[in-house]
Structure 1
């Protein structure tokens, strides 16, 4: 895919422009703009790494492993038979929220991003005054020309001021994040975006929510573990809460959304944002055997079959009626973890896609941050 890369960002009537001299800002309307010098928050990438500059005017990897252990099992459409203690306690797999991650690693840019949306908006108050002025002008329209002019002009002025203030509030409460990349860095980041699109095109993709050890395998198709999973959404799109000049690869991981930006991984939880450096991430790639009760994705590899209820020899348990034969499928698995609290496990049906994505992120991580100039 072609990397979407812009040299300017609009925030209300303001336009931030990227040039060799840094970030410039201009303000106005189409056909009339006035430029000035203050820069927004941004990251630039120079030869050999990243350079981070910010103005705040408002205040591990591994190779693919093949696991040959007993497969896991997911039963989405039917409850387990009424048997005593066939599965151990389900252990939830969930990351820390952005609030927890941000508090564990303070960062001026993250503090700015989280502070801006909480700033009080002024335009609703001016809009209310403008509405009252318009109402007054309408009620006084029969009082003669002088009265109409006396009430109408202030009403129009207040309406214009309210509209301007709305756009000004939009810019005032926005964080501008620019990425300026040299060719090697741009190629590395494009590779991450391309590989994530391959993940998104996988026939089956899930997030593992919880897992539990099976205590009696005959009730769970012979599997060693039972998992709860949900469909996974991922793609390329705008960075929420930030005016950014890039379309960013993202993964919707339940309550958190992970944004793979050029310099670090941003974590968004609701209105809160945190960040984790790529050097802090541990990305582990493996394959896993999965007993599939749903439809097998078109690009998955079926490696065998089992029975929904099995006997000790691995054959069908004749005591159960409608004992279905189930396929055993090999899936790619990607674990993303950090010491600060990220803990995500994803599965994909397309073989090999997780390894190429992990390698692309590892290459991007080699662009080390440089000292602030």
Structure 2
């Protein structure tokens, strides 16, 4: 199995305009004091009861103020004023993002390995390639460190996220941001047959066949195994987000039409001059 996640945000130089990435990284690096002060006040009050009630009453407004201060210090405000073709395109992007938000299951492929030997082929349901995936959440929420006046199509997979803004794509890896210009981004969509585990079939996916955990050379069930479960073969949609600089984000979607719709929308992105903020 080889890692197929590409380079991280630390290795990708920003390609967008302005200092938005610098501001986001500065905001993400700032320490928040609201939570630790609240915990300290709570513990101190608990161990000094009944006088702790007075500590809680005095600490409550301070903790609330610290939370508000943390939010302001750790948030970058970005205002967009987009018109004409770029506005129409981004509206279509947000609308078509509903395909991903509404999909029953999304995954990101993080490892992949070829099946080389006959034994590996027979004991892995006849698959020619093995992959490791992590769940992906699609939304229109945007990153937590950004406050903006537009919906932000978002993909979050563990510590890595993609955020599609009107003028650029933000990549977040382990609390570090970089950005990618749309003219550098490639989104290649295709359909792929996938051998799924039993009991994990998304309801909106198309089942196109079946196989067994252990197969013989001809592809039928290997009768030597008493416990040889039937595995469904599903048809999924894949979108590979990539750049020549090394981005590699492989998204698998339970609905094939959702992957194709997003790829076609990204292929139609117009020339964008940049945001007003």
Common fold by TM > 0.5: yes
- Aligned residues: CA RMSD: 3.3
Partner of 1:274 in structure 2?
178
SS in 1 for 2:242: strand
Deviations 1:151-188 (A, max 9, x none): xxxxxxxxx99998986775466432111122543321
Structure with the larger strand share: 1
Looking at structure 1, the residues matched to 80 and 100 of structure 2 have their Cα atoms a distance apart, in angstroms, of 24
Looking at structure 2, the residues matched to 205 and 164 of structure 1 have their Cα atoms a distance apart, in angstroms, of 39
Map 1:54-133; keep pairs closer than 5 Å: 90-102=1-13, 108-118=19-29
Partner of 1:87 in structure 2?
none
Partner of 1:293 in structure 2?
197
Contact 2:4-2:109 within 8 A present in 1 as well? yes
Of residues 209, 220, 223 in structure 1, which corresponds to 2:110? 209
Of residues 289, 309, 313 in structure 1, which corresponds to 2:218? 313
Partner of 1:151 in structure 2?
none
SS in 1 for 2:204: coil
TM-score, L = length of structure 1: 0.59
Map 1:3-42; keep pairs closer than 5 Å: none
Partner of 1:230 in structure 2?
134
Q: State the aligned residue count.
A: 251
Of residues 314, 335, 340 in structure 1, which corresponds to 2:245? 340
**Which of structures 1 and 2 has the bigger CA Rg?**
1
Partner of 1:176 in structure 2?
77
Structure with the larger helix share: 2
Looking at structure 2, the residues matched to 231 and 237 of structure 1 have their Cα atoms a distance apart, in angstroms, of 17
TM-score, L = length of structure 2: 0.78
Looking at structure 2, the residues matched to 202 and 321 of structure 1 have their Cα atoms a distance apart, in angstroms, of 36
Distance 1:116 1:318, change over 3 A: closer
Is residue 198 from structure 1 mapped to residue 99 from structure 2 by the alignment? yes
For structure 1, the residue ranges without an aligned partner over 5 or more in a row are 1-89, 128-159
Map 1:150-169; keep pairs closer than 5 Å: none
